[in-house]
Amino acid sequence: MEQDRLRDRFRGALLGVAVGDALGAPFEGMGMVHSADLERLHAAPGRLCYTDDTHMTLGMAESLVAMRGFDGENMARTFARNFRQEPWRGYGAGPPQVFRMVEEGTPWDKAGRMLFGGTGSFGNGAAMRVAPCALAYHQDLEKVIAVAAQSASITHAHQLGIEGAVLQACAVAFLIRCNARVPFEKRALVEFLEFRAASPVYRQKLERVKSLTPDATAADIVRQVGNGIEAYEAVPAAICAFLRHPDSFSKAVLCAISLGGDTDTIACMTGALSGAYLGESAIPVPWREGVEGAGRLRELADALLALAAGFRQQEEPE
Ligand code: R7I
Ligand code: MG
Ligand code: MG
């Protein structure tokens, strides 16, 4: 029974990524999204095709499963291989440069630092793909943090890019471990994340998340945390959308899209949070059956669950 519930939540987290990404993609880069458009997503979502957010999430899951844990070189090459196969998925500017460097022999832990004049990227591209790391290591928070940071640094070596991935991973792991049958403590999640936030910008954003009232509008959320492509805007925005509707996958994801800006990525991360907490069964059937790659995402979620069980056995004394 416990295992069935966990499977539902693992699948929910990965399907949540793809559903949020696909629903949000048509609105990426726009201002705030009108409620009539959001209602249409409910009634007739159209073809649900995912973008780079899910494509990279698949790459992370594939690498963790194949190598039975984190292997930086393999993960970097898996990202690069997937990009070569489907370069039209809407990738940001930075990652393809890293892929080329890695393919030409630059070590996986050096290439990311060469972007943006040597500072590395603080885009949200490491946070958007990090759910598989949170699932695989959810029983060991220190490992979630370490692997989220290492996996982020492949393409996003800037401290703020890394920290966005660490916070998103911590939030997914926290929610996987939460009992969904007891009332949700919003403050508990934010305080848990504050404890792990090192940079002033994230600490300030999380304070603002805490100060938002339960009836905060999309405009309030954007004013407080932003909706941009930077990890320090998109990650807090995704947390806000989830916290606005912790008991409804569809409301949380539509709230994320309503913020405008980087809609596919904010909704993808909100989908991961809500899916991890509520499980696949809470995702509307037309969305979870209609989204591209659903079968593959379920297979990988199950493989990550088996991997996590293997880690637990390794830790148990003989
Ligand atoms: O973060 P990344 O993979 O992009 C992800 C986004 C998501 O919205 C996806 O849906 C897709 O559309 O792309 O790609 P990066 O190129 O690493 O970062 C994204 C952008 O953030 C960059 O193109 C820059 O505009 C900005 N950026 C920076 N600008 C200045 N200095 C990221 N890092 C820096 C920086 O250090
Ligand atoms: Mg995208
Ligand atoms: Mg995006």
Using pLDDT thresholds of 50, 70 and 90, give the confidence band for residue 318: low
Specify the 3-state DSSP secondary structure of 291. Answer: strand
pLDDT at residue 181 greater than cutoff 90: no
Q: Is residue 318 part of a domain?
A: no
| 174 is a domain residue | yes
- Residue 124 beta carbon below 6 angstroms from any ligand 1 atom: yes
**What is the per-residue pLDDT across 62-115, written as a single tens digit (0 to 9) for each?**
999 999 999 999 999 999 999 999 999 999 999 999 999 999 999 999 999 999
Taking the centre of ligand 3 as the mean of its atom positions, its distance from the CA of residue 213, in whole angstroms, is 26
Q: Label residue 183 by pLDDT band (50, 70, 90).
A: confident
Pocket test for ligand 1, best of 91, 98, 121, 199 (most atoms within 8 A of CB): 121
At 270 the pLDDT is 98
Residue 293 has pLDDT above 70, yes or no: yes
> What CATH number has the domain bearing residue 146?
1.10.4080.10
Q: Is 119 in the pocket of ligand 1 (CB under 6 A)?
A: yes
Residue 78, pLDDT score: 98
37 within domain boundaries: yes
* Amino acid occupying residue 261: G
Evaluate whether residue 184 is within a structural domain.
yes
Distance CA 256, CA 267 (A): 5
Q: List CB-based neighbours of ion ligand 2 within 5 Å.
A: 51-53, 90, 264
Q: Which residues of 76-108 are buried (b: 16+ CB within 10 A; e: fewer)?
A: bbbbbebbeeeeebebbebbbbbbebbeeebeb
Domain coverage including residue 271: 2-313
Alpha-carbon torsion, ordered 173, 11, 306, 185, to 10 deg: 30
- Position 5 scores a pLDDT of 94
pLDDT in tens, 184-201: 788 999 999 999 999 999
Q: Is the CB of 116 under 6 A from ligand 1?
A: yes
Question: For tokens 């009539």, what's the residue?
Answer: 36
Q: What is the pLDDT of residues 229-242, one digit of tens each?
A: 999 999 999 999 99
How much distance in Å is there from the Cα of 264 to the middle of ligand 1?
Answer: 14
Asked if residue 11 is part of any domain, the answer here is yes
Report the share of the chain in percent with pLDDT over 70. Answer: 99
Is 125 near ligand 1, meaning CB less than 6 Å away? yes
Let me know if residue 62 belongs to a domain: yes
Does residue 24 fall inside a structural domain? yes
Count: domains in the chain: 1
Please indicate, yes or no, if residue 223 is contained in any of the structural domains: yes
